[in-house]
Every structure is written in structure tokens, then in C-alpha cells.
Amino acid sequence: MNCQEVLDLMQKYVDQEHTNSEYAEMSEHLHRCPSCTAIFERLKRLSDELEQLPKVVPAYSIVDTILPKLERMNLLYQPTWKERFMERFPYKTLGSLAAGIILLLVILNSDLPGSMNSADSEKSALHMESMNRDTAGNNLAPAQEDGSDNKAKVEFSESVTESPTTPAPTAEMESAGETTDAEATDSSAADPVGEAKLFKATSPPATKKPTPKPAAASTPEPQATEAGGYGGATVDEEPAVQEENNNAELAPSQSPSAVLTTDAEQFPSGDGAYIAYVRQNETSQEVVIVNQQFEPVFTSFAKEVEQILNIVWSEESKVLWFDTFDGQTTRHYSVDLVKLQESEHVR
């Protein structure tokens, strides 16, 4: 190996790109070649100094300074609605969500004994008690194996909140315990089996004071009124559903929540805080956004168009996107749920 070849190996060595055999060859040469050794020392020193160059950082966040510009550009670089939609709701989620909605509609339109109604809360409470007795005996997977109404509701709550199925029995036990004995809830979450036993022990008093607490909807465990009728519905879902049901029966044509019993397709936001749907008027359409209590939060300007389509929520559920199509032109709109403002976007 001549000096020129060794020079090449030296470069590789300082760049940590050498192999073991190359290192051995180089070392062997350096042992008997003082001039190459001198060059090697200089090269190594220079390379070490270069490694030590200050790792400079910007004095301020460059991204922050360009954010306003990027936000303006963002309007021009919107992804297609399909991309946004499929990213938010993969097929799996869509399937269970659709199933949940259909089942919910079935429940709301039927007169099953489990349906909650303020007029016969006593009956419901009794029903709840009996349901809970059933589930207490089979606390590992009770909700899904009870009545069809129970099953339907559980699936709906899963699809919306993606909560695991196992908390359902615990929630039921908790709520039953709360109705009858407030202290019982403290230990419930940690020990569902123990709670089931506790419930059995305390269930007789439930029949003695069957009326659910009116404030149950706002308590930390509102399933107290929920448990019997629907199984393991989520905290957020329960008061809304109850209200909806009442409204639907009392004044179905005037209540905004009546939409739930129509065929209008619903678009729940990712965080579950809102649901958007299209309201068909005589000559126009508009996008209506309701909150969890099914109170209208925002209604878009009426559009005299053939179709409102591509309704998609932003990831943070703060912006709703939709398009309109009048037979020729597609227009793009967004609704800012924070500012409650509607804007049209040119793509």
C-alpha cells in the first residue's frame, strides 16, 4: 500500500466510513511512515476542530414568523375532501358509527320499555332495577347480551367515543350504587366484581325510592337514569338522548332535535361536541350544527343549490368544511365554530 492510498483511508477514517480491515492497513502503514503519520495527525486535528464548530440555533422561531404566511397559503393547498375525510374516519370507524346511528334511530322510533321518558320515570327506574339485576349476575359482559335496546345503545356509545366495552358493566354498577347509596361509588371503579356484589346488597332500597334524581344528568355518573334503558351510554350522550326522546314525542315538528328521527345524514365532530346535518328547505339547503343537547349552534346561509356535500370536520372539531354544488359549480365553505363565522374559499 502506497502513501497515496493511505491518504484515502485517512479521509475515510476521519469520516467514520472505514472498515476494520482498512483501519488495520492504515495503522500498519502509519507505523512505518513518519510523513504519513504527520499528515494523519494534521488531518485528524482539523477534522476534530470541524466537529467542534458551534451548533448555532436561530435567535427566534422561524416557523412562528412564517406561520401567518403559511396560513394564508393553506387556503390554496387544501387537501381534497376525500383525503381529509378518510384520514379522520377510517372505514372501520365509519362502519360502526353508521351501525350505531341506525340502531339509535331504531330505538328512538320504537316504544321499547327501555326508552327513557320523564312521564314514566318510575316505570323506568323499576325497569332499570330489573335490568341491573340481570346484569349483576353476569357482570363480565352483561350489556351486549340483554335486550336489543341495550345492545344497540352500547354499540352507539362505542362508535362515538371508542370506549372499550368492558367499562359498561362497571358504569352500570356505579350508577345503581349511586342511586341507592352514594358512598358505594367510591370503590366501584377499582373493583367491578365487588361492586356487583354491593349492588345486589343495595338493590332492594332502589325499589323503595325508584324516582331517579332529577339532577342525575349533570352528576359525574349520570348513568343512574341511563343504565336501565340503554345500558352503558356515555356521560355526554345520556342527557341529550333523553331530551331528544322527550322532544320527539312532545313536539317532533318544532324541535331541532327532530332531525334525529329523519333521514338526514349526520356528521358528528371528532370530539363529539357537535353534529352537523343538511336541512332541506323548499328551495334551498342549509347546514345546521347542533351541540350535544341538540340545540342549534349555527345555521349556514341558505344555499339555493342542488346539493350540499363533502361535510367534514377539522381535526380539532373547530371548523366544519362543506361544499355546495348547483349543477355546474362547486363552491367551498368553512364554518368557524369558535367565531361562529361562515366563509367561502376559493381553491
Partner 1 sequence: MIEQEQIKQAQAGDSEALVTLLRAIETHVYRTAYYILGNEQDALDASQEALIRVYTKINTYEEKALFKTWVQRIVTNICIDKFRRTKTTVSIDEHNMVFTTEHNVEDDIISSYVAKDIQEAIKKLPDHHRTVVVLRYLQDFSYNEIAESLDLPLNTVKSYLFRARQQLYSLLQDYQKGGVRG
Positions touching partner 1 (CB under 8 A) are 7-8, 11, 15, 17, 35, 38-39, 41-43, 45-47, 49-59, 61-63, 65-67, 69-70, 73-74, 77-80, 83-84, 87, 315-316
Q: How far is the CB of 55 from partner 1 (least distance, A)?
A: 7
For 77, the grid coordinates are 393547498
Residues 6+ apart with CB under 8 A from 113: 123, 127, 149
Q: How far is the CB of 162 from partner 1 (least distance, A)?
A: 19
Amino acid at the residue 251? A
Nearer to partner 1, 66 or 140 (CB): 66
Q: How far is the CB of 318 from partner 1 (least distance, A)?
A: 11
Q: How far is the CB of 37 from partner 1 (least distance, A)?
A: 11
Nearer to partner 1, 73 or 193 (CB): 73
Q: How far apart are CA 227 and CA 128, in angstroms?
A: 6
- CA distances, 234 to each of 77, 239, 240, 323 (Å): 37, 10, 11, 32
330-336 β-sheet, strand order: 307-313, 319-325, 330-336, 341-345
Nearer to partner 1, 55 or 208 (CB): 55
Nearer to partner 1, 21 or 35 (CB): 35
**Distance between start and end Cα atoms, the chain:** 65
Q: How far is the CB of 67 from partner 1 (least distance, A)?
A: 7
Q: How far apart are CA 246 and CA 118, in angstroms?
A: 7
Q: How far apart are CA 246 and CA 303, in angstroms?
A: 31
Q: How far is the CB of 87 from partner 1 (least distance, A)?
A: 5
Helix, strand, coil fractions of the chain, as percent rounded to 5: 55, 15, 30
Quote the DSSP letter at residue 139. T
Nearer to partner 1, 4 or 283 (CB): 4
Nearer to partner 1, 82 or 197 (CB): 82
